[in-house]
Amino acid sequence: MLIEPGRSLVAGAATTLYRAVTVKHGPRTLVAVDGGMGDNLEPMLYGQRFEATVGTRVGGGVGCDLMGRHCESGDTLIRDVPLRDPRVGDVIAVPVTGAYCLSLANNYNGARRPPVVFCADGTSREVVRRETYEDLLRRDV
């Protein structure tokens, strides 16, 4: 028996939100988002599979590859995930991205780590602020 308290306490309620920045139609539809290896290394490190949906058109759609922004061949968040009519500017929701995604967040290619926002009962509050460029450069001498 395996028990993962962190995952069961956190991941079920955590969702990562990305913005679609490019959509390329062809033999495979590629949807590039404003995140990737800097905020979710799990697919690249050990093949974790996530699901996703377009925030305003939930469920269904054609198989798409959800790609990160880092211009790396390995920066693929999800292969063959059904997304309904993805468009530039859409919010793409990736549920069940809990504490492990947060703990693996990094500054790959100078990416700033995203904020963490808690939401409940129609209200929200920022609990971890987005990194600034000043944060990125703070340790430089």
Beta strand residue intervals within the chain, DSSP E: 15-24, 29-33, 53-54, 62-67, 76-83, 91-95, 116-120, 123-128
Residues 48-68: tens digit of each pLDDT:
999 999 999 999 899 999 999
Whether 130 maps to a domain, the answer reads no
pLDDT band for 97, please (50, 70, 90 cuts): confident
140 found inside a domain:
no
Q: Is residue 135 part of a domain?
A: no
What confidence score (pLDDT) does residue 12 get? Answer: 54
Specify which residues 17 forms β-bridges with: 93
pTM of the prediction?
Answer: 0.85
Mean pLDDT over 16-20 rounds to: 95
Is the pLDDT reported for residue 9 higher than 90? no
Q: Which residue has the higher pLDDT, 102 or 19?
A: 19
For position 123, what pLDDT does the model report? Answer: 92
CATH label of the domain that carries residue 67: 2.40.37.10
pLDDT at residue 2 above 60? no
Whether 123 is in a domain gets the answer: no
Residues 6+ apart with CB under 8 A from 109: 37, 38, 70
pLDDT bin (cut points 50, 70, 90) of residue 6 is low
Torsion, Cα of 31, 50, 45, 41 (10° steps): 60
Chain-centroid distance, C-alpha 110: 17
Q: Name the domain count of the chain.
A: 1
Name the average pLDDT for the chain.
88
Q: Are strands 29-33 and 62-67 parallel, antiparallel or unpaired?
A: parallel
Kindly state whether residue 18 falls inside one of the protein's structural domains.
Answer: yes
Is 71 part of the annotated catalytic residue set?
yes
pLDDT tens digits, residue range 68-88?
998 888 999 999 999 999 999
Containing domain of residue 76, as a range?
A: 5-111
Q: Percentage of the chain surpassing pLDDT 70?
A: 91
Residues 6+ apart with CB under 8 A from 72: 37
